[in-house]
Chain A
Amino acid sequence: MSRSDRLWHWLGTFVRQAIVIVATIVSLFPVYFMVVSAFKTRSEYIANKWGLPVAPILENFVTAFAGEKFLIRFANSIILTVGSVSVSLIIACLAAYAFARMEFPGKRAIFNVLLSLMVVPPVVMLVPLFVSMVRLRLVNTYPGTTLIYVGLLLPFSVYLMTNFFRTVPREIVEAARIDGASSLGVFWRIMMPLSAPAVITLIVVNALWVWNELLIALVFMQKDELKTLMVGIAALRSKHYVDIPVTMAGLFIATLPIVVLYVFGQKYFIRGLVSGAVK
């Protein structure tokens, strides 16, 4: 390589590194801002908005915990997340099995409808859904809200599992058939055990979505003791006194489970989100 080539090469590397570093800083700054603010006193926040806290305090977390019934909200979010993710998983796997492994009239049409449901924004269905939920006395109940979440999670879940079930080699299924297994037997003893990676992926992606959801939780879980963490967080905005560090501490607590989950299950997160797009 000539000198100028080397210079260009070095410059190119430098520019790339610089661009990526800038992007990373921009990505992280709001998170950094949230974390450092959470450890500042109110007056320190006003004097020193973006620096590290000089004398970090934990009081904000105590206040945030006490004021917004965080533990209850936390528990509610967990109940809803676990409930809707597991129910939707079971229903989705059953349906995906039919889509992937069986032929029946209208299969394509049903599948297409399913796909188009993935993009329906929940806000448009809020009114009619609320009406039927009230009639069934399901407002302000875990099962009612879980049911809505299950419905909203299903299209993507069925789609993902269908794609995965299609990749299970035919030979394995046929071998089981010869052994005399019923279709349910094949499902239970062959498909499900083989699908562990896809299932984990689905759990992670769906849990993330339910945990972060605001609108449904806002309308269908109105009782104070039923509110979810996100609703509690959104309400921090309309408190009488605006205490930014306390708000940030609250946000920090609400975000922590996701970040921890992400750090430990990064592989599944990424695989899950990619799975729809990349084989």
Chain B
Amino acid sequence: MCTGEIYKPFLKRADTMRYRPYEPWLYLAPMIVALLFVFGYPVARLVMMSFQRTSKGQEIFVGLTNYIALFQDEVFLRAIRNNLTLVLNVPVMVAVALLLAIFLFERIRGWRIHQTTLFLPYLLPIVVVGIIFSYIFQLSGVLNEALIAIGLPQLALDWLGSPKLALWTVMFVIIWKEVGLGVVLFLARLMSVEEELFDAARIDGANWWRLQWHITIPQLSTVIEFFTVISVITMLSWVFNYVYVMTAGGPGNSTMVTELYVYLQGFRYNQMNLAAAASVLILAITGVLIFVQFRLRERAGEEEVFA
């Protein structure tokens, strides 16, 4: 969904403005109503459904049956494994984005144009990107034609049609699309670092690597952490569109992800209760991650205040 989330810790200072005690709630009311409708009721309903099954038109309580069934389902386990594999994207994305941001920051020739173009993929609709890449990665597609033309036919593989490769191809596309955000974030942060820091290090005779290691990366640490967190969340719960458009979960379930699993169980196999249980698990996993992130931020936030 939106990006740029969950970074800054909640600020603690209070204002001195005077207002009546009920006033805050007037300002909050529209938001609370909208959120209860769009999130509150659906989530409560989901939790309820996940412990039920339909039998003879009645919803009956079945305890953990649905959850147990999920963990016995090869396809669901595959989906979870695939989501976890997608998390491997994150270090690659961070590394690539970091490298490119540093190069651009060094005012490489045409860096503004490069920044603009590197960021472009992030803006494109996933649907559009997915369709374009489907044609590029077809066995008889553009990429393979190019590989054959330059004399590398052994590299012309069935990128999306082979169960061994499809997930990696999807991962490439995700990196392709999401890395631009990292570049722009890192670059923006670097530009707000005081030049003297770098100059001082250079005068001290630090070489390029030491400069990055001792100045750049520490300066970027909060942004890197932010980018890491939102990327992990993306890999775990925001990849539906990629898979839906490019592979539909195939070949042979090799690119099945949890969101698609929920969609299929709920809307194709008519098993709303299993879909609900799987949804609750996805929510729980992302919830735990967010919680961990909060705790980390809170601790880091305290340090910042006193630094």
Contacts and interface: CB of A to CB of B under 8 A. Distances in A.
B26 to A, nearest CB: 8
Interface in B275-301: 275-276, 278-279, 282-283, 286-287, 289-291, 294
A132 B19 contact: no
Interface string A203-229: 001101101101100000000000000
Given A91-B31, A124-B279, A206 B38 contact: no
Contacts of B45: 128, 131
Contacts of B259: 121, 123-124
Among B106, B114, B131, B245, chain A packs the most CB atoms within 10 A around the CB of B131
Interface string A157-198: 111100100100010011001000001001100000000000
Interface string B107-123: 01101011011111111
B103 A251 contact: no
A106 B145 CA distance: 61
Interface in B178-192: 180-181, 184-185, 188-189, 192
A277 interface: yes
B5 interface: yes
Nearest to A48: B145
Contacts, number: 312
A233 B128 contact: yes
B27 A121 contact: no
B156 to A, nearest CB: 13
Contacts of B119: 269-270
A24 interface: yes
Contacts of A16: 103, 106, 108
A153 B2 contact: yes
Nearest to A50: B142
B142 A112 contact: no
B42 A276 contact: no
A102 B263 contact: no
- Secondary structure of the A side of the interface? helix
A234 B39 contact: no
A201 to B, nearest CB: 9
Contacts of A124: 46, 259, 262, 278-279, 282-283
Contacts of B141: 49
A100 to B, nearest CB: 8
Contacts of A151: 34-35, 37-39
In this complex, the interface size class of chain A, counting residues with CB under 8 Å from chain B, is 35 or more
B203 interface: no
Contacts of A233: 125, 127-128, 131
Nearest to A108: B10
A95 B117 contact: no
B265 to A, nearest CB: 10
A199 interface: no
A100 B17 CA distance: 11
Contacts of A92: 31
Interface of A: 12-13, 16-17, 19-21, 23-24, 26-31, 33-34, 49-50, 90-92, 94-95, 97-98, 100-104, 107-108, 110-112, 114-129, 131-132, 147-148, 150-160, 163, 166, 170, 173-174, 177, 183, 186-187, 205-206, 208-209, 211-212, 214-215, 230, 233-234, 236-237, 244, 247-248, 251, 254-255, 258-259, 262, 266, 269-279
Q: Which 6 A-B pairs have the closest CB atoms?
A: A151-B38, A276-B4, A124-B279, A156-B2, A128-B42, A98-B27
